[in-house]
Amino acid sequence: QVQLQESGPGVVKPSQTLSLTCSVSGDSISSGGDYWSWIRQHPGKGLEWIGNIFYTWNTYYNPSLRSRMTMSVDTSKNQFSLRLTSVTAADTAVYYCARKRSGWPVFDSWGQGTLVTVSS
């Protein structure tokens, strides 16, 4: 059974860069059957898709965040990551990593989520 675990700082200063990593166990990132995703949830609000990445570094980004974000994979560590630059208070959210099966446009497994607060 696949398990995903987010890690990263809980507080980021405004204008700085948010960096998160998702560690995957129970599935290989490079197996070729899955895309790896980031989704966030602002406090008390709904869900916002951030982006997907394949192990070949093929990516799909939310157009509203594309100019500030980069996703990457590290197959040797079975991890994938998110960088979001020039953060503001509007980026305060719980960030989830998730798995999307190739050819199946749903998120079938999720990490527990990590709260990132943008504050000076």
Partner 1 sequence: EIVLTQSPGTLSLSPGERAALSCRVSQSVSSTYLAWYQQNPGQAPRLLIYDASSRAIGVPDRFSGSRSGTDFTLTISRLEPEDFAVYYCQQYSDSPPQFTFGAGTKVDIK
- Chain residues binding partner 1 by CB under 8 A are 45-49, 52, 60, 62-63, 96, 104-108, 110-113
- Is the CB of 16 or the CB of 21 nearer to partner 1? 21
Q: How far is the CB of 31 from partner 1 (least distance, A)?
A: 19
Residue 117 structure tokens: 């607060």
Q: How far is the CB of 102 from partner 1 (least distance, A)?
A: 13
9 secondary structure, DSSP code: -
**Closest to 36 in 3D by CA, of 56, 63, 17:** 56
Q: Half-sphere exposure (CA, 13 Å, Cβ side) for 78?
A: 13
- Is the CB of 16 or the CB of 23 nearer to partner 1? 23
Q: Is 110 helix (H, G, I), strand (E, B) or coil?
A: strand
Residue 15 structure tokens: 């204008």
- Is the CB of 30 or the CB of 49 nearer to partner 1? 49
- Is the CB of 17 or the CB of 64 nearer to partner 1? 64
Pairwise CA distance, residues 50 & 38, whole Å: 5
Residue 31 structure tokens: 């197996």
Q: How far is the CB of 72 from partner 1 (least distance, A)?
A: 18
Q: How far is the CB of 108 from partner 1 (least distance, A)?
A: 5
